[in-house]
Each structure stands twice: as C-alpha cells, then as structure tokens.
Structure 1
Amino acid sequence: MAANSSDRPVLEELDRAECLRLVAGGAIGRVAFDDGEGPTVIPVNYAADGDTVIFRTSSSGRLNRSLLTTVIGGEVRMAFQVDRFDEADHVGWSVLLRGGAHPLSEEEKEKAARVDPWPGGDREAWFRLRALEVSGRRLRRP
C-alpha cells in the first residue's frame, strides 16, 4: 500500500541565516576541491566563524598541497558541505557553502575560531573558506 502523500516528508529551501545556523552547530564537514587530478572530497573537522569555516589538515596531506599551490594572497575555489539525516524517519538537512579558501597566516591563526582535529598527528595547516554562496535544503515532516 502506498503511503499517503500528506504523510511524506516535504523538501524546503533554507535561507542563508538558517544555513549558517546549522553549520555553526557541527564539527565534521566535507571539503570539495580539484586536486589537479580531478574533483575530490575530504572530511574535515571545522569551526564556523560567521560566514566562514576554519579547518585544519596535515601539512603533508593532499588538501594542503593543493591549496598551497595558489598565488600568495589568492584563494582556491572550493565547496564545503555539512548534513544531518535521520534515515529511519527520512528527515534531515544539507547545507553547501561555496567560495574561496586560503591558508591562514600566523596572525590569523591567533584570532581564528579553535578547531580541534579528531585524528592525531600533524594538523598544522589551517585554512579559512569564505562563503560567497550559501544554499541548503531540509526534508521535514508536514
């Protein structure tokens, strides 16, 4: 028997303020970028700071190597995505930030929101993604 359409979750677009509120409450997101071999996605620990996201990675990692190829003072276009879903109830949300990322200077690190990486080891490469585009959707019960 088919479910009544009024019982099915409803998809809604989220405004910028709600998207940034949802991102602010998280700790793990995914960074999407072109590493020179094509698109790739890497999970990162992060901290939200207004309309920016701060994340740290290994100095020898793929993400750091790709981002450090930029011109000093330049930014690399990338995307950052966070979501939360309840698979049993078929509800949740997803937020996408797109913009430019750059390595943080020592001075910027001192002022940046604190990010506590979960993995051990070297995580001394700090980056800031400035959200130029913000979009999100929520799947909710009526």
Structure 2
Amino acid sequence: MPSDSSARSVLNEIERTECLRLIAPGGIGRVAFDDGEGPTVIPVNYTVDGESIVFRTSESARMNRSLLSSVPGGEVRVAFEVDRIDEATQQGWSVLLRGGAHPLSEEERESTAPVEPWPAGHRGAWFSLHATEISGRRLHRR
C-alpha cells in the first residue's frame, strides 16, 4: 500500500439507524464491563431485539457474577462493540453501543430473539443491554 495520504481510507461517522442495520444479523460482539479488577472485554454471540442486544453466558462466568452485582431490578453499565474489518483493503466498520445491562427473567427470555452460543456447555445466564448510546464509524476508500 502506498504511503501517499490520498490513497488512504477515509473515516466517517455512521448514523444510528445504519449502525442498527449493520449489527441486525447478530453474530459475534464484545461486551466490555468492569469486573472489579478493571476493564474486561469478553466476546459473545448476540442477537438484536429492537435497540437492545441479547447475549448469554455461563452462570459461573466472571461476566455473569459482575453483571449480577447490581441492585436487584437495576442495570450495570456496559459497552458492546461489533465490527467487520477487511485488513487487506483497510476498509470496514465498527459500531459501539453503551447502556445498562440486566439479567432477563424467564418471561423475558421467551419473548426475546433467541441467541445460540457457539461454545459447548450450558449458557443459562441471559442478559439484555438496552442501548442509550449508539455510534459507529466506517473506514472506506474515497
């Protein structure tokens, strides 16, 4: 790739509706939270339910313990990031959602979009992140 700045990709902000469209198919994203020892980022399978992200983890997982530490009925602030980057072309996009995550009740689980984790084993702790902030950036050729 030439070092000429005119040949480089351009970075632009993505509007909220386009961010939601990009992440709508679900897949893999990363949950960022404070686990008591500092910032932690864990990849998870997810689905989109309106402007919320639904993901699952193991009941014994560090993330479950950290996200359950809130006041009952309350939410823990987390960030969630999804991206698709093509390193060969140096193009792609990244979407960041921030808001409160809370465990889903049995009733909520039945009425939300299903999410199937890739790893084997029981993932019985379901969470929903209601996004209060959604932002994104796209890297593309001129």
Q: How many residues align?
A: 142
Q: Secondary structure of 1:108's match?
A: helix
Which position in structure 2 is the counterpart of 1:41? Answer: 41
Alpha-carbon distance between aligned partners in 1 of 2:70 and 2:126, rounded to the nearest angstrom: 15
Alpha-carbon distance between aligned partners in 1 of 2:72 and 2:4, rounded to the nearest angstrom: 57
Which position in structure 1 is the counterpart of 2:80? Answer: 80
The two structures, once aligned, show a CA RMSD in angstroms of 1.3
- Which amino acid in 1 is paired with 2:47? A
Mapping for residues 1-142 of structure 1, pairs under 5 Å: 2-142=2-142
> 5+ unaligned residues in a row in structure 1: which ranges?
none
Runs of 4+ in 1 over 3 A off after TM superposition: 1-6
> 5+ unaligned residues in a row in structure 2: which ranges?
none
Alpha-carbon distance between aligned partners in 1 of 2:105 and 2:69, rounded to the nearest angstrom: 15
| TM value normalised by structure 1 | 0.96
| TM value normalised by structure 2 | 0.96
Alpha-carbon distance between aligned partners in 1 of 2:120 and 2:5, rounded to the nearest angstrom: 48
Alpha-carbon distance between aligned partners in 2 of 1:26 and 1:12, rounded to the nearest angstrom: 23
Alpha-carbon distance between aligned partners in 2 of 1:105 and 1:138, rounded to the nearest angstrom: 36
